Amino acid sequence: RDEPFSTPLSVGYRPSQVVVAQDEGRVLVVTEPGLDVIELSTETEPRVIDLVDLTADPVEDPAARDVSITPDGATALVRLDGSTKLGVVDVESGVREDIELGDFVSDLDLAEDGTQAFAVIGSNLSTVSTLVVIPVPLESTDASTFRRAEVASVVSRSVSISPDGSLALMYSNAENNPYLAVLTSDDRWQTPVTRALDLKAPVRAVFAAPAGPHGIAFQETA
């Protein structure tokens, strides 16, 4: 059609996230039942073509679910609060795989190109910040093959990744915590460089600059 038009569509209950694939051929909608796939076409009106399950547990709390979708719309990564596993879903086939990371997964972020995922793991008793780098698409479901980077004496539950994936800033805002773990890599995390910073005042949020040379921290008054 030459003129703009709208098409009402029905998707799953309580949609919480909408992602348009890079090629603009599909729209992915995260809902309580799963992942609705909407096909966009210049030949036909948009239509829902699939509902992909994001979990094998029918009574899992959808509100505890954090879903990250790669820019090409091919893969969905599912983190669940209080779980040590990361779910990886192939959107096209609907195949799900659970990866055991060995500790609670408290945050997950993607590089801008979607080829690497970054998971923060650790329990409430842990005083080590651990970042797990996961290749996307998966090369293996064996978590021991994933690269890891650690910063001692810093409690971290969240991560901010620069778009190019060269800088990771890890922190915790669950309580008054002034410490920041800084991790950098110029070789896709084969030999990361790590350090800890004391920012003197509680950290509330951290953001990485686009190319990774700087970070910005929002803090409470010291």
Residues 6+ apart with CB under 8 A from 73: 19, 21, 22, 26, 28, 91
Of 121, 125, 172, the C-alpha closest to 149 is: 121
In tens, the pLDDT along 169-201 reads 999 998 899 999 999 999 999 999 999 999 999
Model confidence at 1: pLDDT above 60: no
What are the tens digits of pLDDT across the range 9-54?
Answer: 999 999 999 999 999 999 999 999 999 999 998 788 899 999 999 9
For residue 2, the model assigns a pLDDT of 67
| pLDDT for 44 | 83
Dump pLDDT digits (tens) for 126-149: 789 999 999 999 989 999 999 999
Nearest-CA neighbor of 157 among 66, 22, 51?
A: 66
pLDDT band for 3, please (50, 70, 90 cuts): confident
Of residues 169, 171, 167, 168, the one with CA closest to residue 156: 171
pLDDT tens-digit series, residues 94-115: 999 999 999 999 999 999 999 9
